Structure 1
């Protein structure tokens, strides 16, 4: 079966909103050998299947149990979907091995997904980690920033 670009976008929206807003990884929307090409804290997290997705979502939702994602822009054509998103939450448990800050965090990123046969086959994410670290107080803001 061939999926339209609109159907592929809907699959991605369902997968990522469910994962980030509830913590549930919809494995039925992932191909068995799906690859997540993510970098977190300078480390590449890439393994086939749902493991990488579970690790990344679990790490952030573990630190920010109220995490919620909103998709702010979507571009999709054929088998590719690109989302610009914002993740909001409160750092009550600590993120990326850092102690809890108690701060409200708002981080942004872009995710590119390739789908095959109506399932997520590959994912690449670019996340504003510098902005996250500045909000957590680990990295100072640039001079003159408010």
Structure 2
């Protein structure tokens, strides 16, 4: 069965909103050998199946239990879907192994997904980790930036 770009986009929206906003990684929307080519803290977390997806979502939902994903832009064609997104949440559990800051954080990024037979087969994400580290006070803002 062939899926339209619109149907593929709808699968991605359903998967990512369920995973991030509810903590429910929908394995039924992933191909059996789906690969998440995520990079966290400079390390690639890439394994087939739902494990990598659950690891990434679980890590951030533990750090920010009130996390909320908002999709800002959607681009889709054939078997590829690209979303520019924003995550907002309060750091009560410690982001990326750091102590909890209690700060309200905004994390932005872009995710590219390849679908096969109406299921997510691969995912790549580019995340503004520098912006996150600046919000946490680990890295100073650039000279002349607000609050610098």
TM-score range, shorter chain: over 0.9
Distance 1:126 1:103 in 2: 22
State the match for 2:88 in structure 1: 88
Shift of 1:71: 0.2
Instruction: Extract unaligned runs of 5+ from structure 2.
Output: none
- The separation in 1 between residues aligned to 2:61 and 2:140, in whole angstroms, is 24
Q: How many pairs are equivalent?
A: 146
Give TM-score, length-normalised by structure 1.
0.99
Residue 5 (structure 2) aligns with? 5
Paired position in structure 1 for 2:22: 22
Distance 1:134 1:55 in 2: 24
Alignment-derived partner of residue 121 in structure 1: 121
1:27 is displaced (CA, Å) by 0.2
Matched residue, 1:50: 50
Regions of 4+ moved over 2 Å: none
Structure 1 residue 60 and structure 2 residue 88: aligned?
no
Q: Distance in 1 between matches of 2:137 and 2:61?
A: 19
1:6-25 C-alpha deviation (Å, 9 max, x unpaired): 00000000000000001110
The TM-score with structure 2 as length reference comes to 0.98
Supply the distance in 1 between the matched residues of 2:139 and 2:94 (Cα, whole angstroms).
15
In 2, the alpha carbon distance for the partners of 1:133 and 1:58 equals 19
Q: CA deviation at 1:30?
A: 0.1
Identify the residue that residue 109 of structure 2 maps to in structure 1: 109
